[in-house]
Amino acid sequence: MVHGVGDQKASFHESWKDEILRIFPELKDTCEFQGLEWESARDRIQAKYPLIQENFSSVLAAFNLASLQAVLDNESYKLVMGYVMDVLVYVGLPDMTLYLQKLGLERLDALAKGREGETLIIAHSLGAALMPHVLWYLYQFTAAIPYHSLILLASPLAFTSPPLITVAVPSMLDTMGKLSGETSRTKTLEKFAKAWLFKGANRLHFLANDNDIVCSDVQFPFAGKQMDIIPVRQGFDDPELKALTDNNPGCYHPVSFGKPQINSIGDNHDVVTYIRQPVFTEIMKGLLKA
Amino acid sequence: MTGNMVSLCILLIGVRLSVAAPESAPIAPDTMAVLLNDYARKVDSLSGVLSKWPIRQAPPDSACVSGADLCEEDRGKVKRLLSDGRELGRYLEARGGGSFLSEKAYSDTLLPRVKDFRDRKLELPPGVILNPVVQAFEAFYEKYISNPVLNRRFMDLTAASRILMERKYLAGDEGNFLEGNLNGHIRFTRTDPDPTRPNFGVSPWEFLFRFEPIYLARDPDPENLGVLLDLGLLAHFFPKVGRDAVVKEGFWSECVRRTGLKAGGGLYGSDLRWVAGGGVQISALSGWWLYDMKRREPVFAMGISNLALFKKMLPFLGKP
């Protein structure tokens, strides 16, 4: 299990495990649940390369975050800014992105302990961008994905980068495409989807809550009208969805929970709620039979 | 230079990186020979299955889309896939199994073949990828080629690369976001994702653009504390990293670690006097030759890029 943004303890995966065991109690004695922690590495990077908000107001302005401060309470705003800083550390420092990918790959390898073929990877939020990057990196040099399956909850992989800063802060898919020398987003998704198809049908799954700002272009009531408060695209567009689903049928699952309200941002992104979705149970049933 | 020289404390920073336990020791050549022989028989057997696989006839003037039955064109692609996969096995058989392949042979001959093979795999249509012959081949390829040989080699190289990146970037001094962003974009300084490149893809060069605390070499006086904005280029001395991430330090990598040239300008003292000049950095310490614009005289200064270390030195420099 791979966590995403925010402060994560080493035992972060226990709540995920508890929820999965509630649904599948038979797994208690047959499955080993491991958490891939990588927040400590991000913290080291943030200590080395502090992001001083005032100095990078143009970056924050490009994501329309300054206006968020006017509408969010202090705690919610701090939560969102914490998330944004985690994401900027991951995509805004290209060598550190590569470093985190290498570290993620090593930690994944260590956790699998030679049982890659039996390992299901569940990743949430920024972890659900790290894992595709890590596995795609490995694929470039081995032409195979050794792990059993991959479930991506609330993946920010579709996030585009604001035009003015896209050279300095590339999007998640651009970062992934660079690993394979690919500049087209749809081509990167097509190849990634196909690579997973070699493992068999239904081994790759994206779950995206249509109220989750991390993976959907959800509109919130704001200043008297409905608007997407982040002025870049967060969800896959139609050609990108087609690239995924044509090359790996049934891999994309839109879900709907929570409320399209600014102060529900955290709840709409909650990993345990994603795990509670009926489609997650169906996916797991299919994978446990495979 | 005027004034008393501040005695410099050369800090020997020796970091012994832990030796990774060889959980994944390379497979012995005779074991690998047995595995590759098994692989060869299985792939040849699949070729036999493929030759008998039902062929779907395309309607006139329209493309045939393979389903459970393969179109002739798609059968050709699968045949090529099996042949390419078989060829990889032969290449490894001829070289004692591949686990002990030299770095040059791995990067110059094996890896290009793997990459070509990868690209051709991804040209297969989705329906063909799900064909049982292709699925069976993939399982054999993973079991006999990619997992025991290619994965292990790539993981070794990745670990080595990661160690050097930590040595270069996360050794204790503080940069800033702009500097980190630039180092990841400038061709000269950025890391190559291909860990078969020299230094496992990690460039020994680092561009600096940061603030640095300094102490002017005059009387011990907190008024001689200042800060410069630096621009510079550092060269890192890396240790040797062998198989299974075993690190072997040398004098330069352990004692010197990095060195470089810098230019900077800044302020010192409570009345903010300007200084500017050039400097040399060795490890975390810098020696600066600056010009004091108020006093109109040159001055030597010491700088330190490790802020945690600098804070510990403050009591010795007259600051509480």
Q: Which contiguous run of DSSP H or E holds residue B139?
A: helix B132-141
CA distance linking residue A243 with residue A226, whole number of Å: 29
| Position A80 pLDDT exceeds 80 | no
**Helix/strand/coil for A236:** coil
* Contact across the interface for B130 and A200, Cβ inside 8 Å: yes
Residues of chain B found within 8 Å of residue A106, distances taken between Cβ atoms: 155, 158-159, 162
Window B:134-193, CB contacts with A under 8 Å: 134-135, 138, 141-142, 146-147, 150-151, 154-155, 158-159, 161-162, 165-166, 169-170, 173-177, 179-181, 183-185, 190-191, 193
Contacts of residues A58-63 at CB distance under 8 Å and 24 or more positions apart, as own/partner, are A58/A164, A58/A165, A59/A88, A59/A92, A59/A165, A59/A169, A60/A84, A62/A162, A62/A164, A62/A165, A63/A162, A63/A230, A63/A231, A63/A232
Q: Give the pLDDT of residue B314.
A: 66
Q: Which comes out higher in pLDDT, residue A289 or B111?
A: B111
Residues of A in contact with B122 (CB under 8 A): 191, 194-195
The stretch A139-167 carries a mean pLDDT of: 91
Q: Going by C-beta distance under 8 Å and a sequence separation of 6 or more, which residues neighbour residue A200?
A: A290, B130, B135
Q: Which residues pair with B281 in a beta bridge?
A: B260, B286
Contacts 24+ apart (CB under 8 A), A80-86: A80/A265, A81/A53, A82/A5, A82/A6, A82/A7, A83/A5, A83/A6, A84/A60, A85/A46, A85/A51, A86/A4, A86/A5, A86/A6, A86/A42, A86/A126
One pLDDT digit (tens) per residue for chain B, 320 residues:
322 222 222 222 212 122 222 334 667 777 888 889 899 999 999 999 999 888 887 776 677 777 778 888 899 999 999 999 999 999 998 887 766 678 888 888 999 999 999 999 999 999 999 999 999 999 999 999 999 999 999 999 999 999 999 999 998 778 888 899 899 999 999 999 999 999 999 999 999 998 899 999 888 787 888 999 999 999 999 999 987 788 999 999 999 899 999 999 999 988 889 999 999 999 889 999 999 998 899 999 999 877 767 777 666 665 55
- With 0-12 / 13-18 / 19 or more C-beta atoms within 10 angstroms meaning exposed / middle / buried, residue A30 is exposed
Minimum distance, in Å, between the CA of residue B215 and any CA atom of chain A? 22
Report yes or no: A35 and A127 within 8 Å, Cβ to Cβ: no
Angle at which helix B72-94 crosses helix B29-51, to 10 degrees, equals 160
User: ipTM beyond 0.90?
Assistant: no
The pLDDT assigned to A6 comes to 66
In this prediction, residues A116-139 reach a mean pLDDT of: 95
Which of residues 109 through 138 in chain B touch A, CB cutoff 8 A? 111, 114-115, 117-118, 121-122, 124, 126, 129-130, 134-135, 138
Q: Which residues of B touch A182 (CB under 8 A)?
A: none
Cα–Cα distance list, B254 to A19, B1, B74, B135, B202 (Å): 48, 31, 57, 50, 18
**How far does the CA of residue A3 sit from the closest CA of chain B (Å)?**
21
User: C-alpha angle with apex B289: B288 to B295, nearest 5 degrees?
Assistant: 120
Of A99, A55, A5, residue with least CA distance to B176: A55
Task: Write down the pLDDT at residue B27.
Answer: 72
- Joined together, the tokens standing for residue B266 give 């800044």
Rg (CA), chain B: 30
pLDDT range class, residue A75, cuts 50, 70, 90: low
Q: What is the CA radius of gyration of chain A?
A: 18
Q: What's the whole-model pTM score?
A: 0.88
